[in-house]
Amino acid sequence: MKRVKNTLQKNWLGKGGVILLYCLTFSVFLAGCDFIRMKKEKAAVDNTVRQPVARVNKTYLYKDELSGIVQPGTNPDDSTTRVEAYINSWIKKQLLIQEASRKININEAEVERKILDYRYSLIAYEYQAYYIRQRLDTAIQETAIETYYKENIDNFILKQNIVRATFIKVPKTAPRTGKIKELIFSKKENDKKELKSYCLSFAAAYHLTDSTWMVFDELVKNSPLIEIPNKIQFLKSNPYFETADENYLYFLKVEEYRISDNISPLEFVRDEIKNILLNKRKVELAKQLEDEVYSTGMKNQEFEIFK
């Protein structure tokens, strides 16, 4: 029976068929060899053309992947530091990824989805930021600031004591320290200029009264006044105060003060309100961009929802 079967195959194939079968088999073999050779050549090219700069087990970081890390014009020392920092960061991340792969069961599909979502978020954020920069009106009218302040006044409760004050810290060795108090209290423009000139020349720290409100603790830091136990009572009782330590003299004249847990003056929160109003405009522009893109896509039939 086997001989009959072989005979039938030979009769069906014929000499030409056998030769064709051999040729096809040999071609598949050559193709396989070519594929293996191409993989080897590609690996060789990767290792020769692409210069590796770091390796974690079988994962390589190549020199061309460092492109863009250092901005043009960066000095060589800073360039080296940034590249080294990036390489060290890459190594740590690769080690962590490979450790995680060994210790826990990672859903690769879910990871890829998150990577894709993150990539889309980055691209969308960059375009959104560009869109906002092109259209954002940064001019905030004073009436808008005042209106927001009045409508949201309960949101502007002071967390610290604030003052409008003059504070001067001068070395004991400075000249004419006896005249400082007189200049502080003087209303004459020439005396005000003289006091400012004196502070520029001799003061270790100073702040002269203007419309600016300051947190009291920040104003008197690095002075004995920071150690005062009851600052609220101190401010109520001392419109003017002098003190000293081993090396310095300290002069404080308080024009106005506001106590914590009270309503903040508008001047103190003006910049905060401006930022709030600007951020609201940014949110509105971001929403406008989303609506524009969606409307355009719908008009041009660029998307479809299947049910």
Q: How far apart are CA 205 and CA 102, in angstroms?
A: 59
Token readout for 168 is 């001067």
DSSP string, 83-121: HHHHHHHHHHHHHHHHHHHHHS---HHHHHHHHHHHHHH
pLDDT in tens, 152-164: 999 999 999 999 9
pLDDT in tens, 5-44: 444 344 434 444 444 434 444 443 444 444 445 544 554 5
Distance, C-alpha 112 to centroid of its chain? 25
pLDDT in tens, 106-144: 888 888 899 999 999 999 999 999 999 999 999 999 999
**For range 59-67, the mean pLDDT:** 92
Is the pLDDT score of 279 beyond 50? yes
Residue 232 pLDDT level (bands cut at 50, 70, 90): very high
Q: How far apart are CA 219 and CA 166, in angstroms?
A: 9
Q: Give ∠ CA 83-118-127 in degrees, rounded to 5.
A: 90
**Domain coordinates of the chain in residue numbers?**
2-49, 107-157+267-298, 160-258
Residues making up the chain, counted from first to last: 307
